[in-house]
Structures are given as structure tokens and as C-alpha cells.
Structure 1
Amino acid sequence: MTDVVVRDMRITECERVSEIRVRGWQSAYRGLMPQSFLDALSVPADAAHRRDRFARGDGSVVDLVAERDGHLLGWACHGPYRSDEPPTEDAELYALYVDPKRFGGGVGHALLQESLRLCTAARHRRMYLWVLKGNARARAFYERAGFRADGAEEPFEVDGVPVPEVRYVRELTG
């Protein structure tokens, strides 16, 4: 949608971004993670953590927000690919969350397209992301955007419940 504006996040927006993130987890991961874990997520605690990370950032991580009519509706974060292997020229989409009341309105698409544009302009060869294996909605979203599962899986556990992640990749050059 053309009325969605994507821009750099400001530290003063950490509370709203945390609200979007926490509500996003509680909506997207319902039935995939223990409900007690999702219910215990705290916007104030997440915001404090987010402010600290934002203030200590070295510029390698890019936080973007999407707004419409001055209201923040989504958040995305990308940076260098995190791996135990030697550093590469690849990027990773660390997070993309949309206010659950705004699903399907183009907010996530706008955030993803701007992250892809910035990473391409920075000459990253690929963008990776990790998504919960059982999160069919997110997987379909990324597949529509040209990402493909590359076969890598990561064990992930929440309160003793396995919630494995799968890795997706998209070429950014050529």
C-alpha cells in the first residue's frame, strides 16, 4: 500500500515496537508455543531490553518501523548474518512483526521490501531468516517474497516444548 511509510526507528518508539513484537508473538505463536510462556511476555520488560540494545548499537543492525497516518504498525530488524561460521557478506532478517490488527494490509510487505532494498544497496549477496517450522502463515509470506527454505533447521525449545526453526534464503544480487 502506498500510504505505508517505512523509516528508521527512533529510540523513543521502543515501547510501541515492543507492544507490536509481544502482541505479534502472542498472536502468531498461539498453538505453537506454550500459552503460559506467551501470556507471561511483558511489553515493559521487552521495551527496556530494546532501549538498551538500541542505545548500545554500533550501526550494524537496522531497525525499521512502518507507519500509516502517524501510527506505528510494524517493525523489522536486519543486519549481518549471525552464524558460528566465519563472517560472510550475507544479511539476516532478525525480526519482522506487524500489529496483529493490521495483518494483510501491506505493512509487512512494505517492511520486507525496504529491508531487501537496503541490504541489496549494501551489496549483501543473500538475505537469510529463521522462522518457526510450524508457522505456516509466515512461511507462506516469505515464500511469496521469493525466499526458499534451504534445508537448514535449528532446534529451539520454549519451556520444554520443541519449536524448531527452519532457515530461508533469498539471493539479492543479479
Structure 2
Amino acid sequence: MTHRIRLATQQDAPALARVQRTSWRAAFRGLLSDDYLDGLDHETLTKTWESLLTRGGGARQCTLLVEQTDHVVGYSRFYPTDDEDDDSVQVGMIGSIYTLPDVWGTGVGKTLITAVLDAMGSAGYAEATLWVLEGNTRARSFYERNGWRHDGALVVDRSEVLPIRKLRYRKGLNR
């Protein structure tokens, strides 16, 4: 099946919210509380996406999505890192990359992350980072198969529900 990668627009907000809610419920079950995951609200997520996509952000940040037969099956968003130990001119952060569970293992994620890394290189970044839940072995294996390495950074995030441990992964970009 062919995939098409394109920039997300404000009109894509409901589709992005659907992918986020569906993928989070599948990927994070057992890692985040069931109450939190079950409480993810499509309307609230759609409004958040509308706001993000309205702001734009220029060439150094964007949201890409992947479609199959005009159906959004995944997305990724990147921007300058906000990690204090990195240079935001040189290092871009992938803040999110998610696909629907029914396309896991089909190559869609590889296509999407390749497009994102190309876009980040074109935006002038020399390196890319992302944070992943320590217990998310499926995602960690995906990143490692695609050349990412844990750089030793660990953070405990207490912002949403439970204290969760996140590891930072890093990859150099070809510009």
C-alpha cells in the first residue's frame, strides 16, 4: 500500500486527534493509568491540534502526517529542542510520532520517521532527539533499529498522571 507524506493543516486536526487517542490507548496501556487513557477526549485533542496548527511556527518546526488512501494513519511533530543541555539551533526534537496500531509493523513508521529526519536536516538541524517512556519497549526497539541511541539522559515526568520515566534518544542528521 502506498503512503503519502504531507504537511498537516488545521483541517487535519480531527484526524490527528483520532490517531493520537487511538495510538496512545494502544501503546501506553499498562504504562499510563487506564483512567487517564480512557479519559482522552477527541474534542479536547482536536482543539489542541487546531491551536498548534494555527500557530504554524516556520521552517524549523512542523507537523507531518502520513496518509494511506486519503486516510490519516500517522503523524509526527518536530521543533527546536527545549532541553537545557542542548543547543536549539543545532538540535531539533521530535515531540511526537504516532501511527495507528493497524499499521504497526507495515513500514509506515519507517517512512514517516525518514521523512521527518529529512525535513529536520533541511531545516538546518545537525541532530535529532526524542523522549520515550522507559517501559515502551516496542517504541525503543523501533528507534534502535532505525539508528537511534539512548544518550544517557533520563527524566521523571510528573506532569500528567503518574511519575513516568523517560529516556532521551539521539540521532545525527545528514544535511
Whether these two folds match at TM > 0.5 is yes
Shift of 1:90: 0.9
- Taking only the aligned residue pairs, the percentage that are identical comes to 28
CA distance in 1, matches of 2:117, 2:13: 23
Which blocks of at least 5 consecutive residues in structure 2 are unaligned? Answer: none
CA distance in 1, matches of 2:43, 2:81: 28
Residues 124-154 of structure 1: CA distance to partner in whole angstroms, max 9, x if unpaired? 1100000000000000000011000001001
Q: Is residue 2:164 matched to residue 1:127?
A: no
Q: Which residue of 2 aligns with 1:78?
A: 78
Q: Which residue of 2 aligns with 1:108?
A: 109
Residues 39-96 of structure 1: CA distance to partner in whole angstroms, max 9, x if unpaired? 0011110110110121122224210010111111111111111123563311111100
1:70 partner amino acid: D
Q: Which residue of 2 aligns with 1:7?
A: 6
Q: Is residue 2:101 matched to residue 1:95?
A: no
TM-score normalised by length of structure 1: 0.93
What SS does structure 1 have at the residue aligned with 2:83? Answer: coil
What SS does structure 1 have at the residue aligned with 2:129? Answer: strand
CA distance in 1, matches of 2:33, 2:70: 34
Q: Which residue of 2 aligns with 1:51?
A: 50
Q: Which residue of 1 aligns with 2:33?
A: 34
CA distance in 2, matches of 1:11, 1:88: 27
Which blocks of at least 5 consecutive residues in structure 1 are unaligned? Answer: none
Decide which moves more: 98-107 or 24-33: 98-107
What SS does structure 2 have at the residue aligned with 1:164? Answer: strand
TM-score normalised by length of structure 2: 0.92
Residues 78-128 of structure 1: CA distance to partner in whole angstroms, max 9, x if unpaired? 111112356331111110010112211111111100011111223311000
Q: Which residue of 1 aligns with 2:166?
A: 165
